[in-house]
Amino acid sequence: MSESIDVIGRLRKMPAEAGDPVIYTIAVGDTRIPLNELIGRPLRFDFDGIIRCIHCDRTTKKSFNQGFCYPCFRKLAACDSCIMNPEKCHYHLGTCREPEWGETHCMVEHVVYLANSSGLKVGITRASQVPTRWIDQGAVDAIPMVRVATRYIAGLVEVACKAHVADRTNWRAMLKGDIPELSLPDERQRILGLIAGDLEALRETHGQGSIREVDEQGLALSYPVETWPAKIKTHNLDKTPEVEGVLEGIKGQYLILDTGVINIRKFTGYEVRFRVMAS
């Protein structure tokens, strides 16, 4: 793609699919633009000061939870605290904000996995979100460890794992591309050995079929990056509404520009003008 691009609309989370490397698209309003082929070209974002809730479309002065207005943030199950801390799920107590949403998003099979994004970490995701979740985190390798019946149980397994392994990605290290080599199959066996007692206790409470250890293959992922940044500088549309630079790579939900990095997911719902000059 060598022609110029000039579109206006709300930013959305960047769609991505596994490939060698990962294949990215940027979504601006109803327009979808392939990104991989834009590497090496200058991009520009101009934020017009308008933010619209990605759920109800109302204008909001501030974005909450990456794209929601405050009323939606307060009422939607997708914004409840148990999304970040699934072990606090309260669906079984009858207090879920949106029980139907909980049925389709939480009361379904989840995967507890190990990933190497900035080093070893544990995480959980709906089975249907593999490998999307791994790509969003910028993992270079990921492997399923157990499959469980619900998000709540996944959260309890993750808590057991967190006594032995991190559950957060160091996003700055992830973007520098200096990731240690790890054998995830070996790490899986090590962690499963350490939490064997925890898993058995959870099975006694939730049923023997609620947690299933798996011996599935992992997935190696590569990203379209020409130049890794030596120092991480971030762009913030709230502080600097005009952002431009040459696209040098894409990883996770970040665009790596020669002028700094920008987390597209953070600015979901922001109205922008997105431009690429003809080459």
pLDDT digits (tens, 9 = 90+) for 68-93: 999 999 999 999 999 999 999 999 99
Across the range 2-12, mean pLDDT stands at 93
Please tell me whether residue 211 adopts helix, strand or coil conformation.
Answer: strand
Q: Give how far Cα 50 sits from Cα of 31, 47, 178, 269, Å.
A: 18, 8, 37, 9
For the chain, the residue count is: 279
Across the range 37-51, mean pLDDT stands at 97
Residue 198 corresponds to which tokens in the numbers above? 């925890």
pLDDT at 72: 97
One-letter amino acid at 157 equals V
- Taking the C-alpha atoms of residue 257 and residue 250, their distance in angstroms, rounded to an integer, is 9
Q: Give how far Cα 29 sits from Cα of 36, 204, 275, Å.
A: 19, 49, 13
Q: Cis peptide before 229, with omega less than 30 degrees from 0? A: no
pLDDT at 152: 97
Confidence of residue 278 (pLDDT cuts 50, 70, 90): confident
> Per-residue pLDDT for 109 more than 60?
yes
pLDDT at 121: 97
> Per-residue pLDDT for 1 more than 80?
no
One-letter amino acid at 278 equals A
Residue 44 corresponds to which tokens in the numbers above? 């520009």
- Taking the C-alpha atoms of residue 111 and residue 126, their distance in angstroms, rounded to an integer, is 6
pLDDT at 177: 87
Q: DSSP assignment, residue 58?
A: -
Three-class SS of 11-53: ECCCCEECCCCCEEEEEECCEEEECHHHCCCEEEEEEEEEEEC
pLDDT at 19: 94
Region label for 248, one of left (φ > 0), alpha (ψ between -120 and 50) or beta (otherwise): alpha
Per residue in 165-197, pLDDT (tens digit) is 999 999 999 999 889 999 999 999 999 999 999
Burial 79-88 (b: 16+ CB within 10 A, else e): bbebbeebbe
Across the range 95-117, mean pLDDT stands at 97
φ, ψ for residue 136, nearest 5 deg: -60, -30
> Per-residue pLDDT for 279 more than 80?
no
Across the range 117-133, mean pLDDT stands at 97
Q: Give how far Cα 79 sits from Cα of 85, 97, 137, 247, 271, Å.
A: 11, 10, 19, 32, 22
